Amino acid sequence: MTGSGIKTVTFDVGQTILTAFPSVGSVYAEVSRANGVDADPAVVEKRFFEAWGACKRDRLAQGQLVYGASHDEAKVFWYGILDEVFMDKTLSPQLRRNLVESLYNVFAHPRRWRLVNGFKGALETCRRNGLGVGLISNWDLRLRDLLNDMGILDAVDFAVISAEEAVEKPDPEIFNKAAGLADCPADRILHVGDSWVEDVAGAVGAGFNVAWFNPNGVALPDELPTNAVELRGYGGFEDVLKKTRARI
């Protein structure tokens, strides 16, 4: 598998290798209650993901990095999400600050995250086949310490984080940075990620091969590009490697 085919595999992080534990809604509800604000985890969960998408679109429309290049810039984004999640409650400026600071710190800790089922096996498959492994993530400046604390940095060759590079997927520049660190041509890299725009379109635009991570079987937003495949779960990861190798 290491002859003329794939040389390196890169993974997105959020929802591709890491997921919040026990859930985003549960953590938000726990932190909010500790600050005197009652919240239903299921309602918070729904509102969070709606707000996340809307706030991302707003930041991009304004030509800004979604997660910023500093902690303060990142918190502006999370303030916007907080306002949407608790839109039916009146939060004083101080309570609003307390909630954002508490949530920002809580989600920086490993105990609030779990590896996606099967990722360790996919990582072992990469190593067994002599492949390099990297991470490419749109995330704020908390991520590198989080990955280090979870032992993930020691298990990969490099991590490219948007807040550190001041560029976010789907911009080809962040993929080019990863290709440089991998010392590998783009067409010999397979990128695995769950976002159609950031991971699939972004990686394809940079010349990477792509595996769209779609464990929930979401309908295809569009036709898969010729250098992309769908990955329903890490149980099928080795087959994806074989298919990608056969194609190139």
The model carries a pTM of 0.96
pLDDT of residue 247: 82
Q: Look at residue 137 in the predicted model and tell me its pLDDT.
A: 98
N residues, the chain: 248
Strands 113-115 and 18-20 turn out to be antiparallel
Cβ pair 32, 86 in contact under 8 A: yes
pLDDT at residue number 204: 98
Cα separation, 239 vs 129, whole angstroms: 13
Amino acid at 177: K
Task: Look at residue 89 in the predicted model and tell me its pLDDT.
Answer: 83
Which residues of the chain, if any, have pLDDT below 50? 1-3
The pLDDT tens digits for 124-170 are 999 999 999 999 999 999 999 999 999 999 999 999 999 999 999 99
String of DSSP letters for 12-59: --BTTTEEESS-HHHHHHHHHHHTT----HHHHHHHHHHHHHHHHHHH
